[in-house]
Amino acid sequence: MIIFFLFSCALFAQEKSFWYSINAPLRPNTLIVHNGFLFEGSDSGVARTKDFGKTWEVVNKGLTYYLNPSPIAVLCSYNNKLFAAGEYNEGLAESLDNGLNWADAPIQNNGSGFTGNGITAFLINKGFIFAAVNSVSYARSNDGITWAYSDTSYGELDPFGHDIDATCEALAGNDRYIFAGNDRGNLYRSANNGDHWEHIFEPQNPKTDVTGLLSLLSKDTIVLAGFNTLGLRRSTNNGDTWDSVGINFIPLTFACANNIVFAGGYYGMYYSLDFGLTWQQTKGGMPDSLKVVSLAIQDDYIFCAGNSYNTFGIWRCSLSDFKADVKPISTTSRLTLKPNPTTGYLKFTNITKDITAIRIFNTVGQKVLDYQNVSGIDISTLPSGLYYINFLSANTSITEKLLKR
């Protein structure tokens, strides 16, 4: 028999991580690692460090055009090239010497009309570089010079009947698909590098809903999507179906290292050890209410760029600080799960009415069973092995191990 507790709030790890402020010279919008340097893009240009934030160098030579009127919104590392783009300016800046000198990237449109007009996101996947071009469109290149342009707009509606007055905000990819989402909350995927798109998520009212997709992350068949009003959504089957995650958090940016997923947003930093199924907050050393806008991984460190109204900067934490041991911080009710291990039927006692869903996942994070409002479940059809059982309510997400014999 296993006994565990349900909390009135999300499950948090005992705080072991600590974030150290590093003296970044600019107000950061984005971070990226390129050729051993950590770069920050900002309203005032670009700066770089090669000693994990101890010393910085502003590298703006040739960037004057891209800073007027637009800040550097996105950076991209592709082969030995470093790209910088503003959210509103036309064109794309390129550096071949680790940011010391910048010039116009030699874009060849290939009959497409792509000019780099207002790039909002980059993605490197399967040998291609993808750029979201401030609309529901994207551009693709395998050398950073010649770009193929795709536009899903036809008249006032795209091929799916959605309003085209939208901005592509996020891109992600895995071995099978690339994913793109816009500020109206629509999410698309492509199995052929963007030649054809399939619509996989839509807000309830796409014409008026301000759901707004803000961030994406994909690994294997799991996709994480951060929405403006819906919060965090998770799919274990490349977007065929979606589950809510029981945490009150709006992710603006994701990063992944050593099977640890990090998410930053309006309410600070969270991390997950099971690829988005359960989350813990990490905030030691960070200011309260910090808005996290970008994350980057370099060696054994994760870097966090914060840009709130009165607070901004870059913080650093060691990846080794994040451990799997989890302890409860408050108790409201007690629930028993037995027998465990089990060969079939599993019974719950003292289950509270606020538990709205009971889900079982395999060890790679795929959902295999899903129940609602039950006091017991039959798992006899599952193969023998280790599983995770998740109890979900509006304010709680609790996960425990389950062994099927």
* Model pLDDT for residues 51-72, shown as the tens digit of each residue: 999 999 999 998 866 665 568 8
Same domain, 258 and 338: no
Same domain, 74 and 187: yes
Rounded CA-CA distance 6/369 in Å is 21
Residue 13, in any domain of the structure: no
CATH of the domain at 216: 2.130.10.10
Are the beta carbons of 139 and 199 closer than 8 angstroms?
no
Rounded CA-CA distance 212/166 in Å is 10
Same domain, 351 and 315: no
For 379, the domain range is 2-7+328-404
CATH of the domain at 372: 2.60.40.3080
Same domain, 372 and 312: no
| 208 pLDDT more than 70 | no
pLDDT, one tens digit per residue, over 126-145 is: 888 888 876 546 777 887 77
Question: What are the residues whose beta carbons fall under 8 Å from the beta carbon of 334, sequence distance 6 or more?
Answer: 3, 5, 6, 350
Same domain, 305 and 373: no
Domain boundary residue among 321, 344, 369?
Answer: 321
Same domain, 100 and 215: yes
Return the minimum-mean-pLDDT range out of 58-72, 323-337, 380-394. Answer: 323-337
Quick one: pLDDT band at residue 157, thresholds 50, 70, 90?
very low
Range 84-108 average pLDDT = 82
pTM score: 0.75
Quick one: pLDDT band at residue 390, thresholds 50, 70, 90?
confident
| 288 pLDDT more than 90 | no
pLDDT for res 302: 96
Same domain, 187 and 204: yes
| 120 pLDDT more than 60 | yes
Residue 147, in any domain of the structure: yes
pLDDT for res 134: 67
Rounded CA-CA distance 287/55 in Å is 22
Same domain, 198 and 63: yes
Same domain, 224 and 342: no
Sheet holding 280-282, edge to edge: 251-257, 260-265, 268-272, 280-282
Quick one: pLDDT band at residue 301, thresholds 50, 70, 90?
very high
Quick one: pLDDT band at residue 358, thresholds 50, 70, 90?
confident
Same domain, 282 and 310: yes
Residue 176, in any domain of the structure: yes
Domain boundary residue among 291, 306, 321?
Answer: 321
Share of the chain above pLDDT 70, in %: 77
Range 204-227 average pLDDT = 81
Quick one: pLDDT band at residue 13, thresholds 50, 70, 90?
very low
Domain boundary residue among 254, 288, 321?
Answer: 321
Range 223-235 average pLDDT = 90
Quick one: pLDDT band at residue 155, thresholds 50, 70, 90?
very low
| 90 pLDDT more than 70 | no
Are the beta carbons of 226 and 251 closer than 8 angstroms?
yes
pLDDT for res 62: 87
pLDDT, one tens digit per residue, over 233-249 is: 999 999 999 988 867 78
Same domain, 252 and 348: no
**Mean pLDDT for the chain?**
79
How many domains are contained in the chain? 2
Residue 15, in any domain of the structure: no
| 4 pLDDT more than 70 | no
| 253 pLDDT more than 90 | yes
Same domain, 226 and 181: yes
pLDDT for res 286: 85
Residue 257, in any domain of the structure: yes
Residue 297, in any domain of the structure: yes
Quick one: pLDDT band at residue 41, thresholds 50, 70, 90?
very high
